[in-house]
Structure 1
Amino acid sequence: MRPGAHHQGDSSVAEQVPARYPYAARIFDFDGTLVDTGDTNLRAVHAALTIHGVRAPLGWLRGVPLADLTVLRARLRDDLGASLVCSDQEIVSTARAYWLSHNDRLRPVEAVASAARAAAASGPVAVASANDGQIVRASLAVSGLAGLFAVVVAREDVARLKPAPDAFLAAASWIGCEPSTCLVYENTDDGITAAGLAGMDVIDVRATPWSICRPPGPV
């Protein structure tokens, strides 16, 4: 952990937190971190499953990791006795079509958006997401945040999704800086694990107040 990494800052003035440390870049998760996407994401997956012949209750979907389609297929089979006969790409494409026609409902998470704006004024910022790239870019645009990010890493850009570190490592590489010099903003346990495995400090934006920590790295 870097010197001073125990400093805590009020998330209501979150843009002041990262400026106190000499990070070369800041990397932001998208879903639920930069933009409140929960309801749209849930309904997009629900619509995709319905179109492909699987009826999954919305309440059940709230408890399932929606980004990992292998896990989603297994949970559908084990919990509901249902199976998807379509490909992963067909699910993604169908969910994307729903999302892009309903993304006017999206709103930025203002504390994190403020931190991103402040960070972009002093150095490179990136997005590292397990969501589809077209969805991420379109949703950033609708939320007024697209101009901040020169780099967007999405699910199609990596071999493994979070909690693997691939997305964060790709973001650092594309920016052109060492992973250890990056600060990550995340809102999930899998994302925090991924940041630690990438050797990056992280702010868990679910916490109040925010604090900067270094999750455990690779053994």
Structure 2
Amino acid sequence: MFDLDGVLVDSEPVWEEVRRAFVAEHGGTWQPDTQSRLMGMSTAEWASYLHSLGVSLPPAEIARGVVERMAARYRDEVPLMPGAVEVVRRLYGTVTLGLASSSPRTLIDVALDAARLKECFAATVSTEEVERGKPAPDGYLEAARRLGVDPRECVAVEDSSNGLRSAHAAGLRVIAVPHPRYPPAPDALALAWRVLPGLDALTAELLP
């Protein structure tokens, strides 16, 4: 099971740029730890958090405004991580692939359609569709349920602290591919079964 943001799509810099600008435009104050806190949150969670930073709009309007800006950026160009398309297509047909992402459904579909990878995934889950976002295990548990498999028989590919914690809490083995700009916390990285230097290093032979 893949995460999307920071694993297949180099979206975290775009998320940070869009949300920073939105916060500034609507009277809020971005904090030094804001980006790390936001990584893995569901849409409702991060919209509420931005509201707590002083953004004058209600959370539902914050979410709608930010997601619209993100979708517009993706329609111009989806910033894929190096090797993302090649790795997914290499594994497709060899193992069953799923995706558990904190992105809203709209952005998951736009990104996978643009990369022509949608057909590769037997199940995709947005944390909008479960009760809690990462680091809670809900997204991975739901993805496993949709695939009809035991989570303990699955491997997650994650980059962020909250993502690593989420997959581990769900009982999956976790392969960490740390993002160079947003590395996970040491205690979260310690939960990984394997740590890879980049997505290109992920092969079927590494999987149990």
- Compute the TM-score of the two structures, normalised by the length of structure 1: 0.71
Residues 1:111 and 1:72: Cα distance change in structure 2 (over 3 Å) = same
Say what the alpha-carbon RMSD is for the aligned residues.
Answer: 3.0
SS of the residue corresponding to residue 127 of structure 1 reads: strand
> Match for residue 116 of structure 1?
88
Indicate whether 1:208 and 2:197 are aligned: yes
The one-letter amino acid of 2:163's match is G
> Match for residue 27 of structure 2?
54
Query: Higher RCO, 1 or 2 (CA under 8 Å, sep at least 6)?
Result: 1
CA offsets 1:110-136 (integer angstroms, 9 cap, x no match): 334333222222232111011111011
Unpaired segments of 5 or more residues in structure 2?
Answer: 179-195
CA contact (8 A) 1:28 1:128 kept: yes
SS of the residue corresponding to residue 192 of structure 1 reads: helix
Aligned mates of 1:171, 1:54 — CA distance in 2: 37
> Match for residue 105 of structure 2?
133
Q: Offset at 1:72?
A: 7.3
- Compute the TM-score of the two structures, normalised by the length of structure 2: 0.74
Aligned mates of 1:112, 1:202 — CA distance in 2: 17
The one-letter amino acid of 2:151's match is P
Unpaired segments of 5 or more residues in structure 1?
Answer: 1-26, 214-219
| Worse-superposed segment, 96-105 or 114-123 | 114-123
Q: Offset at 1:59?
A: 7.1
SS of the residue corresponding to residue 68 of structure 2 reads: helix
The one-letter amino acid of 2:6's match is G
2:72 aligns with one of 86, 90, 101: 101
The one-letter amino acid of 1:91's match is I
Q: How many residues are aligned here?
A: 183
Aligned mates of 1:109, 1:97 — CA distance in 2: 22
Could you say which structure has the higher strand fraction? 1
